[in-house]
Structures are given as C-alpha cells and as structure tokens.
Amino acid sequence: MARKPPNRAGGSSARSARPAQTRTAQTRAVETSTAQLTAPAPDANQATSKKTKSKTEAYPGQQFGLPERGPGSVASMARRVVALFIDWLLSMLIAYWLTHSQFWTILVFSVETFMLTALTGSTVGQRLLGLRVIRTNGGRVSFGWSLVRTAILLTVVPPLLTDRDLRGLHDRAADTIVVRL
C-alpha cells in the first residue's frame, strides 16, 4: 500500500479534509454575508441617464417647450426688472407732463401695462429690452388675461414669488410667460 503524503499541518490528508471543507464553507458564508451588507454597484447607464436628465431639466421653460437660450427662451429676471423700471420712469414722465403731479403715475403705469400687453404683447420697456409676454400655449394675451395679470402685478409682492420657470404669481394666474424676442 502506498502512503499518502502528509499535508502542511503534518497529518494525513483524509483527516484534514473535513476542517478545510468546513473553513471553505465558513469563508463562503462570510463572503455571502458581507456581500449582502454592501450596496450593489450602480449601473453606469443609470448614472449617465441621471446626469443627462438633471442637465436637461435644469433650465426654465423646458416644460413649455421653450429653448434654453436665444429667441423664444425665458427672459432673465434682470431684464424683466430693468424693463419694469423703464416703464415706471416713462409712466412718471407722462403723469407729470399731463397733470404736473407724480401721484397719477400708478394709474398711467397700469393703463400702459394693461393696454400694451393686450395689444402688442409687450410694454415699452419690454420692447426696448427685447421681451414679450405670451400665453404658455404660444398664443397672444387677451384683454381679460392682461387685466388679471396687470391687477396682480400692481400688488408688487406676487411678481416676486417665482417658480422654476421664472413665472411670478401674476404670470401663473394669467397662464403667461415672459420670453426673449
């Protein structure tokens, strides 16, 4: 009979086979349990699609089908404020020229904003800065919606409360948005 060579532990291979198998089973159990504790690696396609999705949803006016930049895109708040100041100064000049008093400025401003928004889609200040008020469906603003928009605009605070599309409460109430020409 041939003898089997001793294993590293010095015993016969028949005797140490069971502890080796037991250690392997224990090692597998440990590997399995640690694998269950770790989070699965994210799929590369999912990570890329999340980055792309956040980039494409990041600009104002996307939900209305407007471009991100250039003509037809949502006007910046800075341009809108400058246009508002131009309209206010023009209203002050007209009120003073007509009545020699600045107390009529608010009336002149409201009539200018209401009429010009309904008729042309933009006030004088908006036209000088290349802005226009349109309905979210792309149509023009009617007299009724222009009246609603102007009345809420005159309350001052609601236009300052904007959403992610830079639409104030006056724009949301009239279903309008200010875009670049």
* Cα 134 to Cα 95: distance, rounded to the nearest angstrom: 28
pLDDT single digits (tens) 77-97 = 999 999 999 999 999 999 999
Q: The tokens of 57 are what?
A: 């949803």
Domain range summary for the chain, segments of one domain joined by +: 66-180
Length of the chain: 181
pTM to 2 decimals? 0.67
What average pLDDT does the chain have?
81
Identify which has the larger pLDDT, 81 or 58: 81
| Side-chain-side CA neighbours of residue 33 (13 Å) | 6
